[in-house]
Structure 1
Amino acid sequence: MAQASDGVHQPVRASIAAFVGTMIEWYDFYVYGTAAALVFGRLFFPQVDGFYGTLAAFGTFAVGFLARPLGGAVFGHLGDRVGRKTSLIITLLMMGVVTVLIGCLPTYETAGIWAPVLLVALRLVQGIAVGGEWGGAVLMAGEHAPTRDRRTFFASFAQLGSPAGLILSMLMFKLVTTLPDADFLAWGWRVPFWFSAVMLVVGLAIRLGVSESPDFLAERRRRLAQAQAAAPPLGEVLRGAPGLLALAICANVLGIAGFYFTNTFMIAYTTTYLKIPRALVLDCLLIVSVMQFLITPLSAYIAERVGVHRFLVATAAVSVLTPYAMFTLVDQGTLTGLTLGVGLAVAGLGAFYAVIAGYVSDAFPTRTRYTGISMAYQLSGAIFGGLTPILGTILAERAGGAWWPLALLFSAIAAISLVSVLALRAPRERQMLRAA
């Protein structure tokens, strides 16, 4: 009887574990992005001030994205062959420990060139950890869903961790940015990184209580029964479905690059070119993050009712148009203008992000699903996510702070995802019919 009850409650446990785990991982990642926008240029690259210092700091931010495909390959293999749960425990430990260590790093003033070198090295490890985390969290939640047609909703709990992590990171930086500037630069910026140690303990306790994915267990039993040799999942994905992987990479662009446009680049743009106080910008992002948190489960629920494909097409199409209204409102320089402008853009991309994970995961077979969706998401992040703040910074500098090239960049990001979702529909439906 206890076992039956436990089986009934596993979907809820898996969803909560996916949410809490991804919240912690994304908190760590967003803390780094916020620090890169606010202080890393001055602390780790003081020899290159202003525009070039910010660009160097965003360069270390991009390094994490470049490392993420490696994490997707390594932990995707582990998750497809050993188990989703094992992979997720390791990635959570890696992320938490590295984030605390970043908070302990000496600055350029005390360690010279070793300070940025160590920062980049730890950022690489952080990127590898996040590269293996996301796909496993999506699958643990989605594959524990009570029925197949509910996977989009359950998988959205992993997506819910992103805005929750952003909210926590914004709250922590809002707290420490109230310190005098000297104290903030001396030790205040470290506090959000150290707080990760507390969250790590909580996350591990929750994740250890979730059983392995039923889809993975069924696939492992099938392989054992047929005495089937397990081919490397990455090789199978690259050889057997390169076109599918390319479409999945591009479908994820809006959910990844769009976020780092609004939540990382916009901090630097508004404080540098519009001279808006950083505290006001962080207040805006905090409000918008709460809005996105609420939008995520609502979007997944609506998508189940109207159709996932139709929902994704609609939200991507809307996102092509929103940056023009966003920048017009942001130019007002008020909290209301900032919040309405950024909130408008995040409403579209946040709704898209809530649903895209479950949509893409259904396009890959169980035996390579962890590897397939991890590589798609992380390669998309490496190509588009990490480079977006850098490209935005270059465009803003060359345009003298004018916003129209930036709006075109955001529209291009949304258009890539729109076209890819349309093209992904047929191969996804074929895979779902084979799995039925």
Structure 2
Amino acid sequence: MTSTPTRQPARASLAAFIGTTIEWYDFYIYATAAALIFGKLFFPSNEPFYSTLASFGTFAVGFFARPLGGLVFGHLGDRIGRKKALVATLSIMGLGTVGIGFLPTYASAGALAPALLVALRIAQGIAIGGEWGGAVLMAGEHAPKEKRTFLASFAQLGSPAGLILALLAFRSVAHLDHAALFSWGWRLPFIASAVLLVVGLLIRSGVGESPEFEALKTQRRTAALPILEVLRDSWRTVLLCLGANVIGVAGAWFVNTFMLNYTTQTLGLDRALILDCLFVVAFIQFFTQLASGWFAQRVGAGRFLKLAAGLAMLSPYPMFVLVSTGKPAAIVIGIAIAVMCMSSSYAVMAGFMTNAFPVRVRYSAISISYQCCAALAGGLTPLVGTLLAHDFPGQWWPLALFYSALAAVSLVCIAVLQRRQPAATQAGAAIALTE
């Protein structure tokens, strides 16, 4: 007799949270360094605008690599298992991040330095591209159906937790004098990732494979080429999921990466002050996401997501008004308003998307949806924001309109998805479109 796969909802959710925290820490320290450090060290120029643009270009490269990671590890996750794919993605991310900490700069290695930076950034992108879908599924597929929206949101908690760790790391070196920071101080947050890598691998080894995948494998019903099945049968749903993710993805990089550059270079505010403000906001984001997953489980994911996207459309206007004052409390409140709306959508989207696809192709489907959105909306948002700030000096309203447009895209796609998959968007509903 074949034994029934054991569910480990608490352990799987904790492992998903800790694993994604480590991977997002790696991703966020690169984002912070791209906004503050890399332009001067790897892309020196007489014009800071062009150095910043080049630095954010390497930031975008990592996003463009994410669909490849989603494709490769989505295939592996649907074929050989979610757990094995996740161990591989965590290892690639950790090694790539530590490698950045040992890179030579342009001053010592010339053009080789930015080339190596781009190569390791691509490795980061591939790793995070494969990580997200597996972490969401390990948490969600171990959970009982009536708790899936809430427990799947634990994988999303890794984003604010990783941001908190990244900001702590950079706050610890931001107070160094300029020469020390740009010589060796910036390297420490990257090298510290080696410790986190070991911790993450130990924790993930203690969680069993997804019970839904194990059942499918036992029945020999896994897909031979899952991505082809997705593109053949569910391409419309993939596009809608891509659009639904826009504000959760782009909004995060707008407030946590572009705003860091905007406040320090355009508004002339102190770097340490902005890092401190973002640090406080990261805690607000963490608890907002935790509460959002719990609340959406009770009122329905689709209904909750539409409300969050609608509020996100309004949020950039008070944000820019308050941030422009330059006062710490006003900056925290302004950014927190936008972050609470954006992160509410981000927290619940994982479970919402999981319910939209069958188990046999689920890893591939949610990965390609989310990672293509990340490549387009996430990778380009800091670049577009930098160009708008340059073309409209001293005016924040074009930036606010851009942010509202991102939220509007999500609102429309969420509404259409809810109509197409009504059973899948209700809290505690049976999983739609499964085997």
TM range (shorter): over 0.9
Is the 2:141–2:211 Cα contact (8 Å) retained in structure 1? Answer: yes
Inter-partner Cα distance in structure 2 for 1:356 and 1:107: 39
In structure 2, do the counterparts of structure 1 residues 299 and 31 end up closer, same or farther at CA, with 3 Å as the change threshold?
same
Is the 1:309–1:421 Cα contact (8 Å) retained in structure 2? Answer: yes
**How far is the alpha carbon of 1:434 from its aligned partner?**
4.2
Inter-partner Cα distance in structure 2 for 1:229 and 1:404: 50
Which residue number corresponds to residue 164 of structure 1? 161
Which residue number corresponds to residue 434 of structure 2? 435
Give a deviation string over 1:65-119, Cα, whole Å, max 9, x none.
Answer: 0000000000000000000000000000000000000010000000000000000
State the superposition RMSD in angstroms. Answer: 1.5
- The residue correspondences of 1:69-88 to structure 2 (distance < 5 A) are 69-88=67-86
SS of residue paired to 2:104: coil
SS of residue paired to 2:264: helix
Inter-partner Cα distance in structure 1 for 2:156 and 2:272: 27
**Which deviates the most, 388-397 or 44-53?**
44-53
Is the 1:44–1:108 Cα contact (8 Å) retained in structure 2? Answer: yes
Is the 2:11–2:207 Cα contact (8 Å) retained in structure 1? Answer: yes
Is the 2:78–2:362 Cα contact (8 Å) retained in structure 1? Answer: yes
Which residue number corresponds to residue 194 of structure 2? 197
Which residue number corresponds to residue 302 of structure 1? 295
Give a deviation string over 1:350-397, Cα, whole Å, max 9, x none.
Answer: 111110111011101000100000001100000110000000000000
Inter-partner Cα distance in structure 2 for 1:298 and 1:230: 36
Please point out which of 47, 52, 59 is paired with 1:49: 47
- The residue correspondences of 1:265-276 to structure 2 (distance < 5 A) are 265-276=258-269
**How far is the alpha carbon of 1:127 from its aligned partner?**
0.2
Inter-partner Cα distance in structure 2 for 1:303 and 1:230: 31
Please point out which of 227, 230, 234 is paired with 2:227: 234
**Which deviates the most, 426-435 or 298-307?**
426-435
- The residue correspondences of 1:352-363 to structure 2 (distance < 5 A) are 352-363=345-356
Please point out which of 224, 243, 246 is paired with 2:239: 246
Paired residue total: 427
Is the 1:363–1:427 Cα contact (8 Å) retained in structure 2? Answer: no
Percent sequence identity over aligned pairs: 56
Please point out which of 359, 367, 377 is paired with 1:374: 367
**How far is the alpha carbon of 1:229 from its aligned partner?**
7.6
Which residue number corresponds to residue 427 of structure 2? none
Inter-partner Cα distance in structure 2 for 1:51 and 1:401: 15
- Is residue 319 from structure 1 mapped to residue 318 from structure 2 by the alignment? no
Which residue number corresponds to residue 129 of structure 1? 127
Deviating 4+ runs (over 6 angstroms): none
- Is residue 413 from structure 1 mapped to residue 418 from structure 2 by the alignment? no
In structure 2, do the counterparts of structure 1 residues 410 and 316 end up closer, same or farther at CA, with 3 Å as the change threshold?
same
Which amino acid is the alignment partner of residue 202 of structure 1? V
Inter-partner Cα distance in structure 2 for 1:67 and 1:234: 17
Unaligned regions of 5+ residues in structure 1, if any? none
Which residue number corresponds to residue 263 of structure 1? 256
Is the 2:230–2:361 Cα contact (8 Å) retained in structure 1? Answer: yes
Please point out which of 371, 376, 387 is paired with 1:383: 376
Is the 2:356–2:433 Cα contact (8 Å) retained in structure 1? Answer: no
Unaligned regions of 5+ residues in structure 2, if any? 425-430
Give a deviation string over 1:312-354, Cα, whole Å, max 9, x none.
Answer: 0001000000100100000001111110100000010111111
**How far is the alpha carbon of 1:48 from its aligned partner?**
5.3
Is the 2:244–2:414 Cα contact (8 Å) retained in structure 1? Answer: yes
Which residue number corresponds to residue 174 of structure 2? 177
Inter-partner Cα distance in structure 1 for 2:432 and 2:65: 34
Give a deviation string over 1:228-277, Cα, whole Å, max 9, x none.
Answer: 58331111111111111100101111110000000000001000111000
- Is residue 404 from structure 1 mapped to residue 397 from structure 2 by the alignment? yes
